[in-house]
Amino acid sequence: MTLSASAQKVQAALTALGMTLQIVELPASTRTAVEAAQAVGCDLGQIVKSLVFRGVHTDQPVLVIASGANRVNETRLGELLGEPVGKADADYVRQHTGFAIGGVPPVGHSEPLVTFIDPHLLQYAVVWAAAGTPHAIFRLTPAELVRITGGQVVSIT
């Protein structure tokens, strides 16, 4: 099966990181955490949400990798970043990651991003992350997720 261009970009990033993880594109949408969990038949908490925020004063992009079951505490995130944060709009997300909302992967971005990882993801043997489109996803372990993103595991809920 040939992957879409965005999914190929993520597959190339994974390969460059030394990973043999395989992206799959599904007929069902994986745009939201609930849709992704239904599509792969896993617990909502096993879905890796890649959410982009921006520093209010510096406009710095921040990637939060959260469990699908959790909401990000923006006040806590601001404390970690050292400035208040705001939600990033679709154009900002695409500009700083190279991907559209609903398909933002944890790797393969167009620029390096400060990254925080929800420790709730670490309780699972396997998690599922977006792979560039609202239909592409890949399976990995939480340890692999931490390694390939270089993110800091810290409470963001």
For the chain, which domains are there? Answer: 5-153 (3.90.960.10)
Check pLDDT > 70 for residue 1. no
Give the pLDDT of residue 87. Answer: 92
Instruction: For 7-36, write each residue's pLDDT tens digit.
Output: 999 999 999 999 999 999 999 999 999 999
Q: Please state the pTM of the whole predicted model.
A: 0.94
The three state secondary structure string of 19-67 is: CCCCEEECCCCCCCHHHHHHHHCCCHHHEEEEEEEEECCCCCEEEEEEE
Q: Please say whether the beta carbons of 44 and 127 come within 8 A.
A: no
Using CB atoms within 10 A of its CB, is residue 27 exposed (0-12), middle (13-18) or buried (19+)?
Answer: exposed
> What percentage of the chain exceeds 70 in pLDDT?
99
Mean pLDDT of 134-146: 97
